[in-house]
Structure 1
Amino acid sequence: MNISQEKIDNLNAVLKINIDPADYQQRVDKSIKDQAKKAKLPGFRPGMVPPAHIKKMYGKSILVDEINNLLSDTLNNYITEQNLEVLGQPLPKVDEAKEYNWDFNDQFEFNYEIGLAPEFNLDFTSKDKLTQYVIKVDEETLASRIKNIRRSYGKMTNPDVSADDDVLYAQLTQLSPDGSVFDEGIVNTTSVRLDQVKDEAIKASLIGLKKDDELTFDIQKAYDNDAVKIAAILGIDEEEREQVKSNFKLTVKNINRLEEGDLNQEFFDKLFGAGTVTDEAGFRAKITEELEGMMQQDAERKLQNDIYNYSLEKVNFELPDDFLKRWLKATNEKLTEEELQGGYADFAKNLKWTLIENRIIKDNKIEIKYEEVFAAAKASLDAQFRMYSPQALTEEQLGQYAVQYLQNKENANKVFEEVKALKTIDYIKSVITLDNKEIAYDAFKELAQ
Structure 2
Amino acid sequence: MNITQDKIDNLNSVLTVKINPEDYKERVEKAIKAQAKKAKLPGFRPGMVPAAHIKKMYGKSILVDEVNNILNDTLSNYITDNKLEVLGQPLPKIDDSKEFNWDFTDNFEFVYELGLAPEFDLEFTSKDKLVNYQVKVDPETLASRITNLRKSYGKMSNPDVSADDDVLYADLKQLSADGSVFEGGISATASVRLDQVSDTKIKKSLIGLKKEDIVDVDLQKAFDGNATIIAKVLNISEEDAQDLKSKFQLTVKNINRLEEGDLNQEFFDKIFGVDVVKTEEEFKEKIREELESMMVQNADQKLQADMLQFGLDKVKLSLPDEFLKRWLKATNEKLSDEELEQGYEDFARNLRWTLIENKIIKDNKLEIKYEEVFAAAKNRLDSQFRMYSPQPLSEEQLGQYTAQFLQNKENANRIFEEVKAQHVFEYLKGVITLDKKEIQYDKFLELK
Q: Name the amino acid aligned to 1:101.
A: N
SS of residue in 2 equivalent to 1:109: strand
CA separation in 2, counterparts of 1:398 and 1:85? 38
SS of residue in 2 equivalent to 1:258: strand
SS of residue in 1 equivalent to 2:133: strand
CA separation in 2, counterparts of 1:21 and 1:394? 61
CA separation in 2, counterparts of 1:165 and 1:349? 43
1:6, CA displacement in angstroms? 0.6
* Count of residues paired in the alignment: 448
CA separation in 2, counterparts of 1:304 and 1:382? 24
1:270, CA displacement in angstroms? 2.0
Q: Which residue of 2 aligns with 1:286?
A: 286
Q: Which residue of 2 aligns with 1:373?
A: 373
Q: Name the amino acid aligned to 2:439.
A: I
1:319, CA displacement in angstroms? 1.0
CA separation in 2, counterparts of 1:104 and 1:439? 74
Q: Name the amino acid aligned to 1:67.
A: V
Q: 1:119 to 1:159 in 2, by over 3 A?
A: same
List aligned pairs for 1:102-117, cutoff 5 A.
102-117=102-117
1:180, CA displacement in angstroms? 4.8
Alignment partner of 1:271 is 2:271: yes
Q: Which residue of 2 aligns with 1:144?
A: 144
Q: Which residue of 1 aligns with 2:27?
A: 27
Instruction: Write out per-residue CA displacement over residues 365-409 of structure 1, whole angstroms, 9 at most, x where no aligned residue.
Output: 000011211221122123323433455545454434323322322
CA separation in 2, counterparts of 1:395 and 1:412? 20
Percent identity over paired residues: 71
Whether contact under 8 Å (2:158, 2:257) holds in the other structure is yes
Using structure 2 for the length normalisation, give the TM-score: 0.93
Q: Which residue of 1 aligns with 2:329?
A: 329
Whether contact under 8 Å (2:169, 2:189) holds in the other structure is yes
CA separation in 1, counterparts of 2:52 and 2:356? 55
Instruction: Write out per-residue CA displacement over residues 84-105 of structure 1, whole angstroms, 9 at most, x where no aligned residue.
Output: 1111111222222333333322
Q: Which residue of 2 aligns with 1:223?
A: 223
SS of residue in 1 equivalent to 2:447: helix
CA separation in 1, counterparts of 2:55 and 2:244? 73
Range moving further from structure 2, 332-341 or 242-251: 242-251
CA separation in 1, counterparts of 2:39 and 2:401? 46
1:283, CA displacement in angstroms? 1.8
Q: 1:28 to 1:274 in 2, by over 3 A?
A: same
CA separation in 2, counterparts of 1:22 and 1:246? 77
CA separation in 2, counterparts of 1:205 and 1:20? 84
Whether contact under 8 Å (2:133, 2:437) holds in the other structure is yes
1:344, CA displacement in angstroms? 1.8
Q: 1:225 to 1:73 in 2, by over 3 A?
A: closer
1:244, CA displacement in angstroms? 4.2
Whether contact under 8 Å (2:13, 2:113) holds in the other structure is yes
Instruction: Write out per-residue CA displacement over residues 98-126 of structure 1, whole angstroms, 9 at most, x where no aligned residue.
Output: 33333322222221111111111212222
Q: 1:287 to 1:41 in 2, by over 3 A?
A: same
CA separation in 2, counterparts of 1:217 and 1:36? 78
List aligned pairs for 1:43-54, cutoff 5 A.
43-54=43-54
List aligned pairs for 1:26-425, cutoff 5 A.
26-176=26-176, 179-242=179-242, 244-393=244-393, 395-425=395-425
Whether contact under 8 Å (2:225, 2:242) holds in the other structure is no
SS of residue in 2 equivalent to 1:316: coil
Instruction: Write out per-residue CA displacement over residues 397-433 of structure 1, whole angstroms, 9 at most, x where no aligned residue.
Output: 4434323322322211110111011111222222222
1:292, CA displacement in angstroms? 0.8
Q: 1:52 to 1:392 in 2, by over 3 A?
A: closer
CA separation in 1, counterparts of 2:334 and 2:244? 37
SS of residue in 2 equivalent to 1:414: helix
Q: 1:181 to 1:336 in 2, by over 3 A?
A: closer
CA separation in 2, counterparts of 1:20 and 1:185? 75
Q: Name the amino acid aligned to 2:129.
A: K
CA separation in 2, counterparts of 1:426 and 1:253? 57
Range moving further from structure 2, 151-160 or 432-441: 432-441
CA separation in 1, counterparts of 2:284 and 2:295? 16
Q: Name the amino acid aligned to 1:381.
A: L
CA-atom RMSD, angstroms?
2.2
Instruction: Write out per-residue CA displacement over residues 44-86 of structure 1, whole angstroms, 9 at most, x where no aligned residue.
Output: 3222222223223322222222111111111111111111111
CA separation in 1, counterparts of 2:120 and 2:40? 58
CA separation in 1, counterparts of 2:409 and 2:243? 49
Instruction: Write out per-residue CA displacement over residues 199-238 of structure 1, whole angstroms, 9 at most, x where no aligned residue.
Output: 2333233333322333343433322233332333234434
Q: 1:43 to 1:268 in 2, by over 3 A?
A: same
Q: 1:142 to 1:391 in 2, by over 3 A?
A: farther
1:177, CA displacement in angstroms? 5.3
SS of residue in 2 equivalent to 1:5: strand
Using structure 1 for the length normalisation, give the TM-score: 0.92
CA separation in 1, counterparts of 2:239 and 2:32? 63
1:291, CA displacement in angstroms? 0.7
SS of residue in 1 equivalent to 2:418: helix
1:184, CA displacement in angstroms? 4.7
